[in-house]
Amino acid sequence: MTAAARTKIGFLGSSAPSSPHHGSFKKFIPADIEFTFMQESGTHSSLYDAKGKVDALIGQSKELIAEHGWNGLIISGAPKEALNAGMSEQVSSALNIPVALALRSSVAALKAFAAKRILLMTPVDDQLKKMYYDYLAAFGIESFYPPQILRAHTDAQKLTSDDVETMTRKALNEYPNVDAIYFQGALLDPIPLLDKLETDLKLPIVASNPAMLWLILSKLGLSYNITGYGKLLASWPSVPAGPF
């Protein structure tokens, strides 16, 4: 497949297509990619509501793929993978197009940077952080994370870029012996900071949204040089060997 073929990518997440936090993602989507944001069916009052919903998600994905003619699909939301063991394999085997999920894409990106010890920055509660820790550990990645400071993960939307930078630098002072920083959760929105922090801290930084875009386009045989949004998109490394 070539970029000239007008590749179509779908994005399926818990938020409405018009949600403000999709704004950062839209900025680094290549102009020759037709990209469609869609919202999952059903209501979700808690991040934990995703447990046991994989079959329904697959059913909706199949309908949308048939309707839109997508070449690849991004399914956002790390809690889904953490709460549903084997979700990545289940979704990939059920759908007839390449798929990228938040945690698995981020693992691939961290491995592309040969990161084995990482600082995990995420707005979710400590229970989910521990589940992320276990997920990453299964791929040989040890993670360190600061304790929960937000009353709810949605409070991350109130943070400014300066707030996020201050939190990150403070956490890195507490856990300095890491190979990379990993931001999980679009509400925290580290995208405007990626270049600055990578330069200042001299560490590669993986954020889940760029990681998902990098992985899905790589799976489709596409490669880009997207500057201004971190080393991953700018250098576009090859996807490492593994079940990604």
CATH numeric code, 3-101+215-220: 3.40.50.1860
106 to each of 37, 117, 120, 212, 224, how far by Cα in Å? 20, 14, 11, 7, 18
- CATH T-level assignment (fold) for domain 105-208: Rossmann fold (3.40.50)
Torsion sign over Cα 190, 191, 197, 203? positive
pLDDT tens profile 95-132: 999 999 999 999 999 999 999 999 999 988 889 999 99
User: pTM for the complete prediction?
Assistant: 0.92
CATH fold match for the domains 3-101+215-220 and 105-208: yes
Task: Give tens-digit pLDDT for 154-190.
Answer: 545 666 788 889 999 999 999 999 999 999 986 678 9
Spell out the domain ranges in the chain: 3-101+215-220, 105-208
